[in-house]
Amino acid sequence: QVDERLLTPRDLASFIWQIARGMAHVASLKIVHRDLASRNVLIDKNKVCKISDFGLSRDVYDTDNEEYEQKTQGRLPLRWMAPESLFDHVYSVKSDVWSFGITMWEVLTLACTPYPGLSPPAMMERLRNGFRMSKPVHCNDEVYDIMRKCWEDDPEDRPTFIDLVRLLEDVIT
């Protein structure tokens, strides 16, 4: 258990960078996680992050377009889902990038629930109209710009996890 009172801004930046690196590895294996959120990141006593809970993940290695379309309904992490996943049931590494942006927001707010004060239907309607969460208090403009890149409407306009690792390295070093 990591004591949040002992966390520095550098620790939070390191967590975000480590999560991006972990997801770059997951993406390199052609796996779509589909449930990236701070609750699914384990942190050991040395402040090393590990991505966990691959229960919703899918291997897209054998598909031509590296997307997965969900055919059945189950309990889904709505507040972390990209618009194309929410509205069209399409998942890809780029929908994981969206979730990474939400996870960045969670880390930088010390685990606040995304879209505070909005019910899931209200959140979905706001997202459909282009709403994005505001910059967390303990977040600089450069990091928020990276977060916003993850939330581009068009999945193709979102960075890759390799891009995110590089962008974050530039900001935190």
pLDDT digits (tens, 9 = 90+) for 11-27: 999 999 999 999 999 99
pLDDT band at 107 (very low <50, low <70, confident <90, very high): very high
Please state the rounded mean pLDDT for residues 43-70. 65
CATH class for the domain made up of 4-53+77-172: mainly alpha
Residue 102 near residue 123, CB atoms below 8 Å: no
The reported pLDDT for the residue numbered 3 is: 62
pTM exceeds 0.75: yes
Give the tens place of pLDDT for each residue, 67-80: 444 445 556 789 99
On average, the pLDDT of the chain sits at 88
Give the tens place of pLDDT for each residue, 120-151: 999 999 999 999 999 999 899 999 999 999 99
- To the query of whether residue 35 is one of the catalytic residues in this protein, the response is yes
pLDDT band at 56 (very low <50, low <70, confident <90, very high): low
Please state the rounded mean pLDDT for residues 33-57. 85
d(CA 44, CA 73): 34
The reported pLDDT for the residue numbered 69 is: 44
Q: Which DSSP string corresponds to 119-164?
A: -HHHHHHHHHTT--PPPPTT--HHHHHHHHHHT-SSGGGSPPHHHH
Which of the residues 3, 11, 35, 59 is marked catalytic? Answer: 35
So where are the chain's domains?
Answer: 4-53+77-172
